[in-house]
Amino acid sequence: MGTVKKRGPGPSHLLMTPDHAGNVVGIDPHKRTVTASVADARGGILGSAHFRVSGEGHRELEVWARQFGQIARWGIEGAASWGRHTAMFLSGRGHDVRDVCANRTPRSDRARQRGKSDALDSQRIARETLAHPLLPKAFKRAGADSGPDEQHQLLALWNNRRRSILTGRQHLVGEAEYLLCELPLELREQLPDIKAIRPRLAALARRNRRRRYDAPTKLRLQLLDGYRAQINALDREERQVVAQLKAIVDQSGSTLSELCGLNTRSVAELLVEVGDPRRFTEGGFARFNGSAPLPASTAEGPGEPIRHRYNPGGNRRINAILYRMAITQLRCEPRAQRIFANARAGGHSKREARRILKRHLSDVIYRRMIRDLQTQLTDQPALLAA
């Protein structure tokens, strides 16, 4: 019986090689201080120390870490948040800086005997960086690029502002709906019999203000008028933010908005969450966004079926975009309808067929982002020469 060759990830410049061997530094950042631990190639801790988040503190950190020998990699927990300044300093000095997600550090030690401290956390980060050499580079970069990208920062700032507006508006809408339910029945019957909040608030604003109400009802009406004004103000601000996002997306050269089911908001979210698409392979991007199913087989062998199950992990923001894109394309895109129909004909349920479509759309988005990036890189030398 011949052996089955499994296709592995292949060679990677990110893996430790004899030319890039050395220690690994794990950093646990905070507002004003960072705690660093140096681990050797076997995972042994060589030392731990605390430093200030400042130019002088970062220089002391680098000198201290180098005294233990050559450094192959730096791992920072939350390189885009509390560890941002440290990651920018180290990237500017030419170091290989990786972003370690907070939920990757082992929790078993913390829950049992060793407890929790900044030094212990930095040691866990160092060992996590050592054990997983394919951790993403800081600031979602790829290849030789390092440090934050200006356009990506602007896009992320505006996108975060839009999400903050949505959160605040949803809170106001929820409170307004609660107050609308508390209004007297004779007043509620004068409002449109619909679920939407804004038309009911608008109708309430056109009410006869000469009528007298009891003090609690009067206060409720006053609060509802304030909620209506705040919601309208947030609506106007969101439109302004979306206009800023559209300008940056157009400037980036992205053509994702040409795909059916993607608008400016979705494209901006994709560009922010993905960063440099070269960080992924096509299948790796599907695993990143949770559209790739998880293997769920046992007792595998010749002739045995290979089963998969739903993937609840991955980036749920991108997964939600894929879901909305799939629903939209099922209404108006013939190719998506054919993929869905073929999956249904193959015995899949509607939900499973929709997941198959989402997996296909993940590949479509990835290829389009790679093509846009290649076009942008091709046009840059021409612009510089001009």
Where are the strands (E) in the chain, listed by range? 23-29, 33-39, 45-52, 71-77, 97-100, 294-295, 308-309
Confidence of residue 5 (pLDDT cuts 50, 70, 90): very low
**Residue ending a domain, choose from 90, 116, 148:** 148
Q: Has residue 117 been placed in a domain?
A: yes
Q: Is 173 found in the same domain as 61? A: no
**Residue ending a domain, choose from 122, 148, 174:** 148
- Under 8 Å between Cβ of 65 and 38: yes
- Under 8 Å between Cβ of 264 and 257: yes
Q: Is 317 found in the same domain as 344? A: yes
What value, to the nearest 5°, has the Cα angle with vertex 192 and ends 191 and 193? 110
- 355: phi then psi, degrees, rounded to nearest 5: -70, -35
pLDDT confidence of residue 6: 42
pLDDT in tens, 245-278: 999 999 999 999 999 999 999 999 999 999 999 9
Q: Has residue 15 been placed in a domain?
A: no
Which structural domain, as residue segments, surrounds residue 141?
21-148
Mean pLDDT of 49-63: 96
CATH of the domain at 29: 3.30.420.10
Q: Has residue 282 been placed in a domain?
A: yes
Q: Is 161 found in the same domain as 143? A: no
pLDDT in tens, 6-22: 444 443 444 455 545 78
Q: Is 379 found in the same domain as 260? A: yes
Distance, in Å, from the CA atom of 178 to the CA atom of 188, rounded to the nearest integer, reads 12
Q: Is 381 found in the same domain as 260? A: yes
Q: Is 210 found in the same domain as 104? A: no
Mean pLDDT of 120-130: 93
Find, among 236, 126, 23, 201, the residue nearest to 118 by Cα.
126
- Under 8 Å between Cβ of 224 and 179: yes
Per the structure, the count of domains in the chain is 3
Query: Would the pLDDT of 222 be above 50?
Result: yes
Q: Is 194 found in the same domain as 180? A: yes
Q: Is 166 found in the same domain as 68? A: no
Q: Is 73 found in the same domain as 185? A: no
**Residue ending a domain, choose from 110, 133, 148:** 148
pLDDT confidence of residue 302: 77
pLDDT in tens, 188-209: 988 999 999 999 999 998 887 7
Q: Is 336 found in the same domain as 243? A: no
Q: Has residue 2 been placed in a domain?
A: no
Confidence of residue 133 (pLDDT cuts 50, 70, 90): confident
Q: Which amino acid is at 193?
A: D
What phi-psi label fits residue 94: left (phi over 0), alpha (psi between -120 and 50 degrees) or beta? left
Helix (H, G, I), strand (E, B) or coil at 72: strand
Q: Mean pLDDT, the chain, as a whole number?
A: 88
